[in-house]
Structure 1
Amino acid sequence: MTMSLAVRFEGIEKQFGPVRVLHGVSFELAPGRIYGLLGENGAGKSTLMKILAGYERPSAGELYIDERQREFASSRDAEHAGIVLIHQELNLADHLSIVQNMFLGHELKKGFFLDEPAMREAARASLNEVGLHKNPDTRVRDLIVAEKQLVEIAKAMLRDARLLIMDEPTATLTPAETQRLFGLMTRLKDAGTTIVYISHKLDEVERITDDVIVMRDGRFVARAPTAELTRQQMANLMVGREVSDMFPDKPPLAEDAPVALEVAQASVPGWAHDVSFAVREGEVFGFAGLVGAGRTELFEALVGLRPSSAARIVINGKTVELKNPRDAMRHGLTYLSEDRKGRGLHVDMALKDNLTMMTLERYAHPLVDTRAERGALAVAMKDFGIRTGNASSRARMLSGGNQQKLALAKFLNPDPRVIVLDEPTRGVDVGAKRDIYFLIHRLAAEGRAVIVISSELIELIGLCHRVAVMRAGELVATLGMDLLTEERLIAHATGTH
């Protein structure tokens, strides 16, 4: 089979009930090029690519593959045609091993039996290619989020794709892992594979793509060679207006501001050792570090999600013992996980049910007051800019960015005084990022302490009064605003300072 594959969309439309998410989309993809597909959350990018990959069928319009009209009945039909989608939200079975996930539905056989040695060897080779040196028999549930993302990419490599769709593939990856992925993408392109790269990281789009295609509100709006567009122009095309001042001015922090959270000598077995820090009211305090440095695990432990020990945890002047997240919430501390679908939201539940879940006692007298819940949802949709065609829909029907906004609204509903946000803008478009940045500073201006864990150094520099850097489970440096540079943060995170 030849590697080249050309695609043409002709007037593609898609409706989910009364909600139309694609409006007559038409453009072409030439073979052997890397395309950056850009747009705000809810622009229709993922829906269009799901149609191309056989996960959805168009309501109207036609799809042409190599000048032949096609409509795939399933993702397997699309894979037979050489089209593979790497999902933004991880699509793995946690209870199965890496190799079982990679060959699920595509098992190799030797006679009547599974050829397990062949599958294991092929899986190991594909994992090595993406830079994940793990035993293929490792259970997926034992991997961190970034490692699961690499498994998804390695799984796609096994399908011999002629057209590969990557939806936010670097959202959880380190710079070194991202660079390795870009090298792999370049090799695939040189072999004739067409790649559609969906990302909100415009610097990455600028580095790796040949052409940029922009969608907005379910419509195709622009196409241009990447070299002819600046990042600012890409952002403006995505949101349909001039985007400037991504980060608000940092609210002033009084030197005598009370300490909102103090942690002394916290340790998490296998992840963190003897970590101490303090965050003041009104402060935005960042945590930087490479994937696996122990940042997420430290805060999961602090709210009772992991076994840990600490000499002292003090919240708003009171020494506390936090056995579970409800204890933490009762003392004014909430933690929003980086895994919004796995731990942030119940995606099969309604929006209002997600929003009020943590504070249900407010709405039960003793029966649940659904009218009050709907009122709270209306306020949250306005305050957080949650966009949906139907307020009665389930959370899974929202775009990734709107799911993140709903998760933020849910975890702020208990009115916490200390808020921990783990990768709060992962998979979120440039316009929504700006909204979240301004929300974070609004929370700080109200006197709350906000802790931001992020892999995006520019985000930490633009948002935070101070940034703590973790390496191999230890807090190795805390930098004030006058010392916040990418070079310093990377140097401390890698131990080269």
Structure 2
Amino acid sequence: MTYGDVLVARGLVKSYGGVRALDGAGIRLRGGEVHTLVGENGAGKSTLVRILSGTRAADAGAVRAAPGTRIAVVSQELSLFPDLTVRENLFPHRPPRRHGLLDRGAMDRAARPVLDELGLDVDLDARVGELPLADQQLTEITRALLRDPGLLVLDEPTSALPAAAVDRLERVLHALTGRGIAVLYVTHFLAEVMRFAHRVTVLRDGRVALSGVRRAEVDVPELVAAMLGGRPEQPERRTRTVVDLAPPVVLSQVSVPGRLADVTFTVRAGEVVGVAGLQGAGHLDALEVVCGRTAISAGRVDIGGRGLPRSLRDAIRAGVAFVPSDRKRYGLMTDRAVWENATAVSWLGLGRGGVMPSRAELVRRTAGLTERLQLRGGPYDVVARLSGGNQQKVVLAKWLATEPRIVVLDDPTRGVDIGVRGEMHRIIGELAAGGAAVLIASTDLAELTEVCDRVLVFVRGRVDGELSGSRLTERSLAVAMQRPSGD
């Protein structure tokens, strides 16, 4: 059956401060179709979804929905109440009542047909927090469908789901489109685009790079090309001296249940090695193993010649520095001075400088680090008053003060401007040139190609390939990350 347009958006513009998130973007959604929306981080996907759902207003442009169309959004971060029952979660607002009391029978009669359609067999009296993640996802979809929407937005619905749950979702999508519902499916898994989509739209830098193309008319390399645009294929390669003997990072056939399977790799002194993968691919779990934040179930780990770190403190003593992606939550005491942050690990964690070094000595050490990092701020400045880029430099200063042999970086330039990004890349090069082993993850593929000697690509918990030299480009990385494991 052919259905008409459910929603059409044209010429959408949205700016946040001086950053233009959308620049003339649009999309056309038809009933009975799964329309996938893809693009790199920062391409404008989330902003477009917020405008379509009415939670944000566009600065310019128009959104027109068919009369009476309800729009329901199921976000990547579920909005369920874990301590409430399934029934209570399905009817959070204005539940059916009879004689002033909750009408459980009416709730069950309304919910059961939808639950059956989605293949969700759960006890309505069960606590949602006790359900498997896949059932929680379907519970949220059920709640959305009880609103009888004409458009259902699924934002990264499979980012944390196992393969069997993805198969189940495919059946759900077929049932929804069979009812004439339009589904906007936001994802970074291009394999899912090829599997689920009727049409696909690609955003790049707030603009539409591909608009409503039929799935049969495009392949994964073409989608990657649309996402990346005309960026140079091959960045300039740096030549570094690496030390082959006794590499400071060794993982051999390492497994973590549900996260890593038989992972083996080394990082040598003087080398910058990247790890890349889609969300949940296992590359970030490998970093946590190196940093002593995750225990293994099988295999062997040797970090700094000390074996498997039992904790982050143990890893620090082995010479590991860990620069996290969430600097405010894990990296900084924002209400304290730069010098207090910069010396926190070397003094308080490792006891360097004695039991009670003078403040003047700690400030002197901090001044040397801030000069090296070209930090715009003095030792006595409160960290909260610094720019995001300079806050990130304070995190790095804290770890450089430990004189690490192994530096682990998770998205080190997230949220910083291009100038600070270049400075951070210079520092990474200097660390490797000084003999440190550097292990880096980044959601910015260009960053990996610029700073890394080689990149390990993770797929479904395994190292699925390695790119280096002329093969290490943004496009080759993006395609390799999307490849099913074993292909």
Normalised to the residue count of structure 2, the TM-score between the two structures is 0.60
Structure 1 residue 53: Cα displacement: 0.8
Following the alignment from structure 1 to structure 2, what is the Cα–Cα distance between the partners of residues 374 and 94? 36
Question: Which residue matches 1:234?
Answer: 223
Q: Any residues of structure 2 matched to 1:205-244 within 5 Å, and which? A: 205-223=193-211, 224-241=213-230
Q: Which amino acid aligns with 1:103?
A: L
The residue identity in structure 1 corresponding to 2:90 is F
Say which SS state the counterpart of residue 464 (structure 2) adopts. Answer: helix
Alignment of 1:410-489 (within 5 A): 417=437, 419=439, 432=444, 434-435=445-446, 437-438=448-449, 442-443=451-452, 454-455=459-460, 460-462=464-466, 489=486
Q: CA RMSD in A?
A: 6.0
Equivalent residue letter for 1:227: A
Residues in 1 aligned to 2:184 and 2:242: alpha-carbon distance in whole angstroms: 48
Number of aligned residues:
412
Q: Residue type of the partner of 1:45?
A: K
**Which residue, 93, 107, 113 being the options, matches 1:106?**
93
Question: How much does 1:181 deviate?
Answer: 1.5
Verify the 8 A CA contact 1:36 1:199 in the aligned structure 2. yes
Offset of residue 195 of structure 1: 1.4
1:9 counterpart = 2:9: yes
- Amino acid in the other structure paired with 2:216: A
CA distance change for structure 1 residues 391 and 221 in 2, over 3 Å: closer, same or farther? Answer: same
Q: Please tell me the residue identity of whatever aligns with 2:221.
A: Q
* 1:61 equivalenced with 2:61 (yes/no): yes
Give the counterpart letter for 2:62 in structure 1.
Answer: E
Q: Deviations over 1:109-139 (max 9, x none)?
A: 3333345576579778867766777766345
Map Cα deviations across residues 320-344 of structure 1 (whole Å, 9 max, x no partner). 7534x3553454447799xx8xxx4
Change (3 A) 1:462 1:151: farther
Contact 1:37 1:197 in 2 (8 A): yes
Distance 1:254 1:18, change over 3 A: closer
Task: Give the C-alpha shift of residue 417 in structure 1.
Answer: 4.7
Matches within 5 A, 1:89-488: 90-92=77-79, 95-97=82-84, 99=86, 102-103=89-90, 105-106=92-93, 108-111=95-98, 112-115=100-103, 137-138=126-127, 140=129, 149=137, 151-223=139-211, 224-241=213-230, 257-261=245-249, 279=266, 281=268, 314-319=302-307, 322-323=310-311, 325-329=312-316, 331-333=318-320, 344=326, 360-361=342-343, 365-368=379-382, 374-375=389-390, 377=392, 386=414, 417=437, 419=439, 432=444, 434-435=445-446, 437-438=448-449, 442-443=451-452, 454-455=459-460, 460-462=464-466
Letter in 1 for 2:172: L
Larger Rg: 2
Look up the SS of the partner of 1:461 in the other structure. Answer: strand
CA contact (8 A) 2:255 2:299 kept: no
Partner Cα separation in structure 1 for residue 429 and residue 111 of structure 2:
42
SS at match of 2:148: coil
Structure 1: segments with no counterpart, 5+ residues: 69-79, 393-401, 403-407, 426-431, 465-485, 491-497
User: Matched residue of 2:46: which SS?
Assistant: helix
Identity, % of aligned pairs? 26
Shift of 1:487: 8.6
CA distance in structure 2 between the partners assigned to 1:374 and 1:319 by the alignment: 34
Q: How far does residue 219 in structure 1 lie from its aligned partner after superposition?
A: 2.6
Counterparts of 1:192 and 1:330, CA distance in 2: 60
For 2:413 and 2:150, the matched residues in 1 are separated by: 38
Gaps of 5+ in 2: 344-365, 371-377, 397-410, 469-482
Tell whether the 8 Å contact from 2:273 to 2:439 is kept in structure 1 after alignment.
Answer: no
> For 2:297 and 2:191, how far apart are their aligned partners in 1?
40
Greater alpha carbon shift after TM alignment, 297-306 vs 11-20: 297-306
Distance (whole Å) between structure 1 residues aligned to residue 24 and residue 224 of structure 2 = 23
Q: 1:461 to 1:15 in 2, by over 3 A?
A: same
CA distance in 2, matches of 1:389, 1:372: 10
Letter paired with 1:11: G
Instruction: Say if 1:443 and 1:244 are closer, same or farther in 2 by CA, change over 3 A.
Output: closer
Closer, same or farther: CA 134–317 of 1 in aligned 2, 3 Å: farther
Which one is further off, 276-285 or 32-41? 276-285
Residues 31 and 266 of structure 1, relative CA distance in 2, 3 Å threshold? closer
CA distance in 2, matches of 1:98, 1:296: 33
Q: Secondary structure at the match of 2:144?
A: helix
Paired with 1:274 and 1:386, the residues of 2 have a C-alpha distance of 28
CA separation of 1:261 and 1:444: change in aligned 2, threshold 3 A: same
- 2:202–2:209: 8 Å Cα contact kept in structure 1? yes
Alpha-carbon distance in structure 2 between the residues aligned to 1:295 and 1:31: 38
Write the distance in 1 (CA, Å) between the matches of 2:322 and 2:131: 21
Secondary structure (helix, strand or coil) at the match of 2:40 reads coil
Match for 2:227: what amino acid? M
Between the aligned partners of 1:99 and 1:413, the Cα distance in structure 2 is: 54
* Distance (whole Å) between structure 2 residues aligned to residue 287 and residue 95 of structure 1: 32
CA spacing shift, 1:284–1:222, aligned 2, 3 Å: closer
- State the alpha-carbon separation in 1 of the partners of residues 339 and 94 from structure 2: 41
Q: Distance in 1 between matches of 2:223 and 2:417?
A: 26
Does the CA contact (< 8 Å) of 1:4 and 1:162 recur in 2? no
* Counterpart residue identity of residue 36, structure 1: T
1:414-456 Cα offsets, whole Å, 9 max, x none, are 99857586xx65xxxxxx4x336536xx4566xxxx9876428
CA gap of 1:234–1:303, structure 2 versus 1, over 3 A, is: closer
Map Cα deviations across residues 54-95 of structure 1 (whole Å, 9 max, x no partner): 2112223322112x6xxxxxxxxxxx842112223x043565
1:96, distance to aligned residue in structure 2 (A): 3.1
Shift of 1:273: 13
Please tell me whether the aligned partners of residues 39 and 203 of structure 2 are also in contact (alpha carbons under 8 angstroms).
yes
1:220-267 residue CA offsets vs partner (Å, 9 max, x unmatched): 34423232223333222233226868x999x99999642535689999
TM-score normalized by the length of structure 1:
0.59
